[in-house]
Amino acid sequence: MVNYQDWTEEQWREKLNDKEFYVLRQAGTEPPGVGEYTDNVAEGVYSCRACGAELFRSTEKFESHCGWPSFFSPLAGDKIIERVDNTLGMRRTEVLCANCNSHLGHVFAGEGYDTPTDLRYCINSISMQFDAK
Rounded-to-integer distance, Cα 11 and Cα 74, Å? 27
Amino acid at 127: S
83, 102 Cβ separation under 8 angstroms: no
CA 124, 125, 127, 128 torsion: positive or negative? positive
Angle formed at CA 40 by CA 52 and CA 15, multiple of 5 degrees: 30
| In contact, 68 and 122? CB cutoff 8 Å | yes
Residues acting as catalytic residues: 122
